[in-house]
Amino acid sequence: MSRKLLFLFISVLYLILIASGLTLVYSVGNPEPVQKPVSAAHDNKIRIAHTEIFGKLQRPQVVFDHKKHEEAYKKEGCSTCHPVDSKNKLIFNFPKTIKGKGKKAVMKAFHDECIECHKKSGAENKKTGPVTCNNCHKKEFAMLKKPIPQAEFDFYDHNKHVKIMKEKFGKDDCGQCHHTYDVKDQKLYSKKGTEESCSSCHDLDKKRGPELAAITKVAASKGLSVRKISHQQCLNCHLECKDSYMNVGSQDVHKIHNEKIACNSCHIADDYRQAVSCTECHIPTDCSKCHTGKYRTTAELNNVARPDRGQRAISLIDIENSSMREVPFNHQSHEKSVKSCRTCHHETLKSCKACHSLTGKPEGKGINVANAYHRMLAEQSCTGCHNKMKAQKECAGCHYYISAMDVGTMNPKKNNCSSCHAGKQIAMPKPLSYAGNNIKEEVEIKVLQKEFEPSKFPHRDVLNKLVKVSNDSKLATYFHRDIQTLCNGCHHQSNTSAELQMPRCGNCHMVDYDKQNLNKTSLLSAYHRQCQGCHEKMDISKGRKCSECHEANKKGPSAITQIKNRNVVRQNTTSMLNVWHPK
């Protein structure tokens, strides 16, 4: 009897477990949709997440309204939340102090600073903030992104600061911002003529040469990243200078701004007795005033003075014991074409040969001077930068299909050397002109004459356009020494020293595919690759459709024409696609 009861009990229990399992399987509702990050404008609100410390968050991130807190504690000042150093300079850390190490210590420090301050304000019957978890860690903030645009300190900003510093101190005092670190004496110092950018020592992610590596190591040990020192250096100075603007009398303010800006730029429309703070325009201290996401172009910076380090307008690059002739280098012209000295001077503002020797040395990471100037794929090298410029649409129509690189050495082709290594010839080449040359007005292309009327190519108009593009660019003007250079963009295998007249495309490209040489482009593909490829790279919308270049031959049967065209397209697609549109 006891065995039967035990068997019955086990059977019932087994059935209950099965039923429970089935219920769980079939009662699972629709899974919650995966939330996607939502971007919001940066409006002086800061995301507090610190996933580098906490990893995956248990609660949603906090979105902190910095502007609201700044207004609330205007009298008390920034030191209410941020600590100060021995010189009474603000350190823009938060929380002020963290007792202990690890996630819990950091979380407790945040809660102690924020919640205790809110509780204190509430006890004093002042307007206060939340003290419970869900009022800070709101669900709607979980996937919110507030990207902060990078602040850019360009030549315009630098020039403006130089003038302000001169007005304030009565002399050029670069040491107010620029300094370096003496590793031996363990102290900062400044020396005129040796000024570098902040990133030279404080870009902690970049590998440096031996000269800066020791300084960067000290900066890293103190956590002095570019972001931290920029806020510390700039904001402290702005906060100090801001008081001088606030002390300017109202009559002087109106005198300075009279006829320059409208009244409602400063005065509030509803009440003209009130005006916005001078620091809304001058001496910015708000995040959004520097992190605007708007950046000046090189054209806008063209007439702005560059930092003066005693550099020559034009110099000769002459490497001792080199087998090559000198290179005349227009430094002033290159300054106008970049937004930062670091575009070329990627380590320090010294000349290239100071770190890169004929055989290479540690200061230049073993890269010799030839590679430093000629590496085709390096943005800091001369040829690498020029290649980047040639990728612009004005130049890409020709240069995309012209290989300027020796694949074996990854350096420029030897026949290009004399363009730069010109010795002591510093004069700029003259703009191109083909006056007096026998240039055809129009060229008829008859390769598809059976199916279509001859295609008329506006030869002179195209050349006129290319001449204008070349003459509008200083870089192109320097390297395009004669009209033949432009002709080579289409007539890419031409050699005028051996030719009686310019060869036609059909001299090299066969009408049918050469089965013995599949790499050889057929004549039809050569025309389309050259014409449509140029239009595509130069972003020219005209000439993309067949009917824009080819008029149908009314005498020919349209059905046969369409079939033959489809066959041609299929052949081009299967056999010549990579040649026609190389990627």
pLDDT tens-place string over residues 163-212: 888 877 777 788 888 999 999 999 999 888 888 889 999 999 888 888 88
Q: Which of 145, 168, 195 is the last residue of a domain?
A: 145
Shared domain for 475 and 372, answered yes or no, is no
Q: Any idea which of 389-393, 405-409, 509-513 has the lowest mean pLDDT?
A: 405-409
Give burial (CB, 10 Å; 0-12/13-18/19+) of 400: middle
Shared domain for 171 and 126, answered yes or no, is no
pLDDT in tens, 50-59: 998 999 999 9
- DSSP H/E element including 406: strand 405-406
Q: Provide, rounded to the nearest whole percent, the portion of the chain with pLDDT above 90.
A: 27
> pLDDT-based confidence at 295, cuts 50/70/90?
very high
Residues 181 and 188: beta-carbon distance below 8 Å: yes
Shared domain for 449 and 542, answered yes or no, is yes
Shared domain for 326 and 406, answered yes or no, is yes
> pLDDT-based confidence at 576, cuts 50/70/90?
very low
Q: What would the mean pLDDT of 256-282 be, rounded to a whole number?
A: 66
Shared domain for 172 and 54, answered yes or no, is no
CATH code (residue 81):
3.90.10.10
Q: What would the mean pLDDT of 2-14 be, rounded to a whole number?
A: 70
Q: Decide if 297 is inside a domain.
A: no
Maximum mean pLDDT: which of 58-72, 268-282, 535-549: 58-72
Q: What is the pLDDT of residue 287?
A: 85
Q: Decide if 27 is inside a domain.
A: no
> pLDDT-based confidence at 581, cuts 50/70/90?
very low
Q: Rounded to a whole number, what is the distance in angstroms from the first to the last CA of the chain?
A: 84
Shared domain for 470 and 576, answered yes or no, is yes
Say if residue 564's pLDDT is above 80. Answer: no
Q: What is the pLDDT of residue 143?
A: 87
pLDDT in tens, 116-134: 999 999 999 988 999 999 9
Shared domain for 182 and 286, answered yes or no, is yes
Q: Which of 258, 290, 322 is the last residue of a domain?
A: 290
Shared domain for 233 and 344, answered yes or no, is no
Shared domain for 101 and 193, answered yes or no, is no
> pLDDT-based confidence at 24, cuts 50/70/90?
very low
Q: Which domain holds residue 93?
A: 38-145
> pLDDT-based confidence at 368, cuts 50/70/90?
very high
Shared domain for 384 and 462, answered yes or no, is no
Shared domain for 269 and 386, answered yes or no, is no
Say if residue 297's pLDDT is above 90. Answer: yes
Q: Decide if 295 is inside a domain.
A: no
Reading phi first (left if > 0) and then psi (alpha if -120 to 50, else beta), residue 44 is in left
Tell me 234's DSSP state: I
Q: Decide if 562 is inside a domain.
A: yes
Q: Mean pLDDT of all residues in the chain?
A: 81
Shared domain for 132 and 190, answered yes or no, is no
Q: What is the pLDDT of residue 583?
A: 31
Q: Decide if 304 is inside a domain.
A: no
Q: Decide if 308 is inside a domain.
A: no
Give burial (CB, 10 Å; 0-12/13-18/19+) of 114: buried
Q: Any idea which of 21-25, 272-276, 355-359 has the lowest mean pLDDT?
A: 21-25
Q: CB neighbours of 385 closer than 8 A, spacing ≥ 6?
A: 343, 344, 379
Say if residue 547's pLDDT is above 90. Answer: no
Q: What is the pLDDT of residue 439?
A: 83
Q: Which of 256, 290, 324 is the last residue of a domain?
A: 290
- Count up the domains in the chain and report the number: 4
Nearest to 162 by CA among 349, 289, 307, 338: 307
Say if residue 154's pLDDT is above 70. Answer: yes
Q: Decide if 250 is inside a domain.
A: yes
> pLDDT-based confidence at 83, cuts 50/70/90?
very high
Tell me which long-range contacts 202-211 makes (C-beta under 8 A, separation of at least 24): 202/226, 202/228, 202/229, 208/347, 209/347, 209/355, 209/362, 209/363, 209/364, 209/365, 210/362, 210/363, 211/347, 211/348, 211/363
Q: Decide if 542 is inside a domain.
A: yes
Q: What would the mean pLDDT of 469-477 be, rounded to a whole number?
A: 92
Q: Any idea which of 99-108, 155-164, 276-285, 398-407 has the lowest mean pLDDT?
A: 276-285
